[in-house]
C-alpha cells in the first residue's frame, strides 16, 4: 500500500453513479467505482471544502451484489454505470433516487412511491445510438463513445451491448471507410475538419435501420462509394441520410439533410400504431419500455371520451396519437419543426383525425388563444431533462386543468416542478418509476396531479 492510499467502506451510491464513502474525519468522498458494502483502496484526487473526490485502485472486500459485467468497455465507457451491479439492486437504487428527490427537493411526504417497473430486456434495448468521431493526438481519429466523465475523449468502440449486433458492424465498417478515404475528422476545439457523428437507428418491431452521417458543411467526399459500401455490406440498412451541422454546438442533428438512399425515415410500431421516425426528430429510445411507460401514464390519467387533452413536448406525436381514439380532441405542441412534421405525418398514417400539432416553445404556445380560450380536461407534460420552464409552469397553473399527467426523465426537475404544483393546490397521490435504461443511472417516472379544487 503506497502512503497516500486509504481504505474506504462504500456506504451508498450517488445519483450520478458515483460510490459514496467517508474519510476517517467523517468527510464525504465520492469514488469512481465500488458498490455498497465493499471496502476499497483509493486515493484522493480532488479536495473540496464539503467533500473529496477519489479514485479506486483496488476492491479489497467485494459485495455479494457484484456481478460480472458483460462488456469489455465497462468501467471506462461513459454509457453504462452499473453493469457490475445485480439488476434487482439497480432497480432498488433507482427507487431510492426518486424517493430522495421527492423528499429533499419536492418536500412531498404524502406521495405513494410505487415499485420501479423493470425492463424485461436488459441488453440490446436501444433503438438509437450516437457515435462520435474524435481527432486523436497522433493525427488519427477514434469513432465510438465518450469515456466515462470525459466530454473530450472518445474511444474506438469494439462492441456495445445496448444496441444490436448490426450496429457494431456498421461502426467498424464506417471507421475503416473514413480511414481509407482520408476523410478529415471534425475537431471540436478548433472547429475544423468534416465528419462529426455516425447515428444508427434500428427499429425493434419492423427491423428497419437508418444510418445518418452528420458532418460539417459540405458534400461527403466519395459519397457514392459510401452508399455502395453500405448497400453491399448491410442489406438490412433501409435508408442512408447525410445531415450537415456547421454549428459549434456539438450535437448530432443537422440543419441541411440529404437522403442518399431509401425513404429518409424508418417506421416503428408502438402498440398497434405505426410511427415514422426521421433523423432529426425525437423518438423514445427503448421501444418495448416506451409501451410500459405510456401504459402506466394512460392508466393513471384514466381519460374519458369527452376529454380535451393538451400534449406538451409531444415529439413525433406518439402519446397524443395513441390517446386520441379514446378522447374528444388532442392538441400537441413541440419545438422541433421536423418532429412536428413527423407528428402530422404520423397522425395521417394512423388515420387519427381529432389531433392537431403546433410548433413552438411551450411557454409561448400556452399564452395563445388556442391554449386559453377553451378549457382542457387534462394536460400531458413530457419535457426534456431540464423540466418545465418557470413561465410554462406559471401558465399551466393559470389554465388549471383538472388533471396533469407528468412524464419525466429527471426525478430532480420533476420534484422541483411537483413542489410548485402541490403548493398551488394540486394533489399527487402516487408516482410510478419506470426503468427505460438498464445499467445506466437514468430513471423515468409518471404521476398524475389532480386539482383539489375540482370536485371529482
Ligand atoms: C422527452 S421528449 C418527449 C417526446 C414525446 N412526448 C415522446 O414521448 O416521444 C421532449 C420533447 O420536447 C421537445 N422540446 C424541448 N424543449 C421544448 C420547448 N421549450 N417547447 C416545446 N418542445 C420542446 C423536444 O424537442 C422533444 O421532442
409 is catalytic: yes
- Inter-axis angle of helices 390-399 and 411-423, nearest 10: 40
pLDDT digits (tens, 9 = 90+) for 59-88: 999 999 999 999 999 989 999 999 999 999
Q: What per-residue confidence (pLDDT) applies to 456?
A: 57
Alpha-carbon gap, residue 78 to 81, rounded angstroms: 7
Domain 128-270, second-level architecture: Beta Barrel (2.40)
CA nearest neighbour of 321 among 285, 351, 288? 351
Read off the pLDDT band of 3 (50, 70, 90).
Answer: low
pLDDT at 275 over 80: yes
Q: Does the beta carbon of 444 lie inside 6 Å of ligand 1?
A: no
Q: Is residue 90 within 8 Å of residue 438, measured between CB atoms?
A: yes
Q: What per-residue confidence (pLDDT) applies to 178?
A: 97
pLDDT digits (tens, 9 = 90+) for 186-209: 999 999 999 999 999 999 999 999
Sign of the Cα pseudo-torsion (218, 223, 224, 230, in order)? negative
Domains 6-66 and 128-270 alike in fold: yes
Q: Does the beta carbon of 155 lie inside 6 Å of ligand 1?
A: no
Q: Does the beta carbon of 290 lie inside 6 Å of ligand 1?
A: no
Q: How close is the Cα of 405 to the center of ligand 1, in Å?
A: 15
Q: What per-residue confidence (pLDDT) applies to 149?
A: 82
* Nearby residues of 98 by Cβ (< 8 Å), 6 or more positions away: 113, 116, 411, 431, 433, 443, 445
Q: How close is the Cα of 64 to the center of ligand 1, in Å?
A: 40
Nearest residue (by CA) to ligand 1, atom 12, is 313
What is the CATH number that goes with domain 91-120+282-451?
3.40.50.150
Q: What letters, b where the CB count within 10 A reaches 16 and e where it falls short, cover 254-265?
A: beebeebebebb
Residue to substitute in 335, 395, 411 for testing ligand 1 pocket (most ligand atoms within 8 angstroms of CB): 335
pLDDT digits (tens, 9 = 90+) for 228-269: 999 999 999 999 999 999 998 888 989 999 999 999 999 999
Catalytic pick among 77, 101, 314, 409: 409
Range 7-24 average pLDDT:
90
Q: Does the beta carbon of 336 lie inside 6 Å of ligand 1?
A: yes
- φ, ψ of residue 167 in degrees (nearest 5): -60, -40
Q: Does the beta carbon of 334 lie inside 6 Å of ligand 1?
A: yes
Q: How close is the Cα of 356 to the center of ligand 1, in Å?
A: 16
Q: Does the beta carbon of 315 lie inside 6 Å of ligand 1?
A: yes
Q: Does the beta carbon of 361 lie inside 6 Å of ligand 1?
A: yes
Q: How close is the Cα of 382 to the center of ligand 1, in Å?
A: 7
Atom of ligand 1 nearest to the CA of 314: 6
Atom of ligand 1 nearest to the CA of 362: 20
Q: What per-residue confidence (pLDDT) applies to 359?
A: 97
Read off the pLDDT band of 2 (50, 70, 90).
Answer: low
Q: How close is the Cα of 315 to the center of ligand 1, in Å?
A: 5
pLDDT at 14 over 90: no
pTM for this entry:
0.92
pLDDT digits (tens, 9 = 90+) for 374-433: 999 999 999 999 999 999 999 999 999 999 999 999 999 999 999 999 999 999 999 999
Which three three-digit cell numbers place residue 56? 479506486
Which three three-digit cell numbers place residue 15? 445519483
Q: Does the beta carbon of 23 lie inside 6 Å of ligand 1?
A: no
Q: How close is the Cα of 317 to the center of ligand 1, in Å?
A: 10
Q: What per-residue confidence (pLDDT) applies to 250?
A: 86
pLDDT at 16 over 80: no
Tell me the longest C-alpha to C-alpha distance in the chain.
72
Q: Which of 12-16, 169-173, 226-230 has the lowest mean pLDDT?
A: 12-16
Read off the pLDDT band of 168 (50, 70, 90).
Answer: very high
What is the CATH number that goes with domain 6-66?
2.40.50.140
**CB atoms inside a 10 Å sphere around CB 431:** 26
Atom of ligand 1 nearest to the CA of 313: 12
Q: How close is the Cα of 307 to the center of ligand 1, in Å?
A: 22
**CB atoms inside a 10 Å sphere around CB 192:** 12
Q: What per-residue confidence (pLDDT) applies to 151?
A: 85
Residue to substitute in 364, 365, 384 for testing ligand 1 pocket (most ligand atoms within 8 angstroms of CB): 384
Residue ranges of domains in the chain: 6-66, 91-120+282-451, 128-270
Q: What per-residue confidence (pLDDT) applies to 333?
A: 98
Alpha-carbon gap, residue 178 to 301, rounded angstroms: 49
Range 362-366 average pLDDT:
97
What is the C-alpha R_g of the chain? 24
Q: How close is the Cα of 338 to the center of ligand 1, in Å?
A: 12
Alpha-carbon gap, residue 226 to 304, rounded angstroms: 51
* Nearby residues of 176 by Cβ (< 8 Å), 6 or more positions away: none
Q: What per-residue confidence (pLDDT) applies to 15?
A: 75
Tell the residue number behind the cell numbers 374528444, with chain if given. 328
* Nearby residues of 174 by Cβ (< 8 Å), 6 or more positions away: 143, 198, 211, 213
Nearest residue (by CA) to ligand 1, atom 26, is 315
pLDDT digits (tens, 9 = 90+) for 278-295: 999 889 999 999 999 999
pLDDT at 455 over 70: no
**CB atoms inside a 10 Å sphere around CB 408:** 27
Atom of ligand 1 nearest to the CA of 409: 1
Residue to substitute in 279, 315, 361 for testing ligand 1 pocket (most ligand atoms within 8 angstroms of CB): 315
Q: Is residue 358 within 8 Å of residue 332, measured between CB atoms?
A: yes
Atom of ligand 1 nearest to the CA of 315: 27
Atom of ligand 1 nearest to the CA of 316: 9
In the 3-class helix/strand/coil scheme, how is the chain assigned residue by residue?
Answer: CCCCCEEEEEEEECCCCCEEEECCCCCEEEECCCCCCCEEEEEEEEECCCEEEEEEEEEEECCCCECCCCCCCCCCECCCCCCCECHHHHHHHHHHHHHHHHHHHCCCCCCEECCCECCCCCCCCCCEEEEEEEECCCCCEEEEEEECCCCCCEEECCCCCCCCHHHHHHHHHHHHHHHHHCCCECECCCCECCEEEEEEEECCCCCCEEEEEEECCCCCCCHHHHHHHHHHHCCCEEEEEEEECCCCCCCCCCCEEEEEECCCEEEEEECCEEEEEECCCCCCCCHHHHHHHHHHHHHHHCCCCCCEEEEECCCCCHHHHHHHHHCCEEEEEECCHHHHHHHHHHHHHCCCCCEEEEECCHHHHCCCHHHHCCCCCEEEECCCCCCCCHHHHHHHHHHCCCEEEEEECCHHHHHHHHHHHHHCCEECCEEEEECCCCCCCCCEEEEEEEECCCCC
Amino acid at each position: 500500500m503506497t502512503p497516500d492510499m486509504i481504505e474506504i467502506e462504500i456506504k451508498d451510491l450517488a445519483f450520478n453513479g458515483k460510490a459514496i464513502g467517508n474519510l476517517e474525519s467523517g468527510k464525504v468522498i465520492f469514488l469512481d467505482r465500488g458498490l455498497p458494502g465493499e471496502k476499497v483502496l483509493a486515493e484522493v484526487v480532488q479536495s473540496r471544502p464539503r467533500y473529496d473526490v477519489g479514485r479506486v485502485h483496488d476492491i479489497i472486500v467485494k459485495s455479494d451484489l457484484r456481478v460480472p459485467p458483460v462488456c469489455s468497455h465497462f468501467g471506462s465507457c461513459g454509457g453504462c454505470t452499473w453493469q457490475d451491479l445485480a439488476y434487482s439492486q439497480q432497480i432498488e437504487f433507482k427507487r431510492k433516487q426518486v424517493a430522495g428527490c421527492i423528499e429533499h427537493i419536492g418536500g412531498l411526504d404524502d406521495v405513494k412511491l410505487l415499485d420501479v417497473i423493470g425492463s424485461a430486456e436488459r441488453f440490446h434495448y436501444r433503438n438509437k445510438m450516437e457515435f462520435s468521431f474524435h481527432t486523436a493526438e497522433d493525427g488519427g481519429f477514434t469513432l465510438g463513445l465518450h469515456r466515462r466523465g470525459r466530454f473530450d475523449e472518445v474511444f474506438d468502440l469494439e462492441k456495445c451491448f445496448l444496441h444490436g449486433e448490426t450496429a457494431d458492424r456498421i461502426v467498424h465498417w464506417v471507421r475503416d471507410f473514413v480511414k481509407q478515404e482520408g476523410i478529415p475528422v471534425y475537431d471540436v476545439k478548433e472547429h475544423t475538419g468534416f465528419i462529426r457523428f455516425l447515428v444508427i437507428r434500428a427499429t425493434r418491431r419492423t427491423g428497419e435501420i437508418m444510418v445518418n452521417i452528420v458532418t460539417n458543411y459540405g458534400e461527403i467526399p466519395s459519397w457514392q462509394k459510401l452508399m455502395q459500401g453500405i448497400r453491399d455490406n448491410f442489406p438490412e440498412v433501409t435508408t442512408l441520410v447525410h445531415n450537415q451541422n456547421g454549428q459549434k454546438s456539438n450535437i448530432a442533428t443537422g440543419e441541411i439533410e440529404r437522403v442518399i438512399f431509401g425513404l429518409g425515415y424508418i417506421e416503428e410500431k408502438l402498440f398497434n400504431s405505426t410511427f415514422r421516425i426521421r433523423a432529426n426528430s425525437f423518438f423514445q429510445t427503448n421501444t418495448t419500455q416506451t409501451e410500459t411507460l405510456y401504459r402506466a401514464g394512460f392508466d393513471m390519467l384514466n381519460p374519458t371520451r369527452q376529454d380535451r387533452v393538451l400534449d406538451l413536448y409531444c415529439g413525433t406525436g406518439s402519446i397524443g396519437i395513441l390517446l386520441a381514439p379514446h378522447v374528444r380532441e388532442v392538441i400537441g405542441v413541440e419545438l422541433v419543426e421536423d418532429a412536428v412534421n413527423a407528428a402530422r405525418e404520423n397522425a395521417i398514417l394512423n388515420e387519427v383525425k381529432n389531433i392537431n400539432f403546433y410548433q413552438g416553445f411551450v411557454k409561448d404556445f400556452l399564452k395563445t388563444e388556442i391554449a386559453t380560450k377553451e378549457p382542457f380536461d387534462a394536460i400531458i407534460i413530457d419535457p426534456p431533462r431540464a423540466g418545465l420552464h418557470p413561465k410554462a409552469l406559471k401558465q399551466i397553473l393559470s389554465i388549471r386543468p383538472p388533471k396533469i399527467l407528468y412524464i419525466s426523465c429527471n426525478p430532480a426537475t420533476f420534484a422541483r416542478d411537483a413542489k410548485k404544483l402541490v403548493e398551488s393546490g394540486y394533489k399527487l397521490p402516487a408516482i410510478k418509476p419506470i426503468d427505460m435504461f438498464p445499467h445506466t443511472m437514468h430513471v423515468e417516472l409518471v404521476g398524475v396531479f389532480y386539482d383539489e379544487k375540482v370536485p371529482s
